[in-house]
Chains A and B, each alone.
Chain A
Amino acid sequence: MVTKSAAATVSVTTSKVIPLGMSAILGLFIVGFVGFSHLEVVHNAAHDTRHSLAFPCH
């Protein structure tokens, strides 16, 4: 029982790496798309957001 719970705690901490990494990459991808995409249509749609968040624009 003791060994089982110890194994469980270790597996929880190592299994955290993948969901945390996936969350961070998803977030960076969303911010990159809204704020940094060079697509003209995306730029125009998010224009006021980019200026108001002080992203490099134009």
Chain B
Amino acid sequence: MSLFRNIVFTAVIAGLLSGLLLTLMQSFSTIPLIAQAEVYEKAEAAPAHSHDHDAAAAGTASAPATGHHHDEEAQAWEPADGAERFVYTLAADMLSAIGFALVLIAGSEALGGFKGWRGGLMFGIAGFLTVILAPGLGLPPELPGMPAAELGPRQVWWIATAASTAVSLGLLAYTRSAALAALAIVLLIAPHLIGAPLPPSHETAVPMDLYARFVNAVYATNLVFWAFLGAVCGVVRERFRAGEDVSSGAPAKLASR
């Protein structure tokens, strides 16, 4: 169990640190752009809403926006704007980072370990390619209020693309046969030949320059996040190997005392 315990410990440390860094970067880059896009999203949703409740809308039209940007799901809880929303974003970022770190460390251990922070950095960049860049080629980052295909098929394509990219990068880096390299290239390209589910129309009220800045911000923040996550995993993993090498000898030691 010491290996599992050390991996979880390393992932939690690396995830908390890099999740904090990610949230700080996001609060200056992507989150203000999401807030701007939500203004357009609400403006788009409002006419449809008042169409259903003409009388009620006339009375509430002058009332301040309540922050419910999903009119059809107005009943569901959501964090209040400001500090509460920031805290939930921070928690979600840290949890995601811990989850990514667990997978990253498990993958690296199966392939022989990080071997220091440089190896961790390489694994982190591979994580960026797998989780952000490859799925992003077919399903670019979305702002609220932008048209998209059905959620389910997009999630299936996203997960399949990330999985096949991960296997492909592993084969390219850790095998030396031509046949496996060819298989890796097929796995790398196949999801994009199949193609991501696309929305029927790309029309949106969100301005294109806002969207372009958002896409740049997503790629920049996530590249830094993954590089940092990988490097920290590499450093912390080296520090915490307690019990792993001596675990088989430990019972004998205890017995001799």
**A residues with CB within 8 A of B:** 8, 11-12, 15-16, 18-24, 26-31, 33-36, 38, 40-41, 44-58
Contact = CB atoms under 8 A, between A and B. Distances in A.
Contacts of B247: 12
Nearest to A9: B248
A15 B89 CA distance: 37
A54 B96 contact: no
Contacts of B248: 8, 11-12
B31 interface: yes
Contacts of B11: 23, 27
B110 to A, nearest CB: 5
Interface in B104-149: 104-107, 109-110, 131-132, 135-136, 139-144, 148
A28 B101 CA distance: 10
A54 B30 CA distance: 11
B221 A24 contact: no
Interface residues of B, number: 59
B92 A46 contact: yes
B73 interface: yes
8 contacts: A16-B109, A23-B7, A23-B105, A24-B102, A31-B103, A46-B89, A53-B222, A56-B139
Contacts of A53: 96, 131-132, 218, 222
B3 interface: yes
B98 A40 contact: no
B85 interface: yes
B76 interface: yes
A28 B105 CA distance: 12
B99 A56 contact: no
Given A20-B7, A23-B4, A55-B158, 11 more contacts: A16-B110, A20-B110, A23-B7, A23-B103, A24-B102, A27-B100, A30-B102, A45-B91, A48-B89, A49-B93, A58-B142
B78 interface: yes
Nearest to B76: A40
Contacts of B171: none
Nearest to A31: B99
Contacts of A36: 155, 159
A7 to B, nearest CB: 9
B47 interface: no
A15 to B, nearest CB: 8
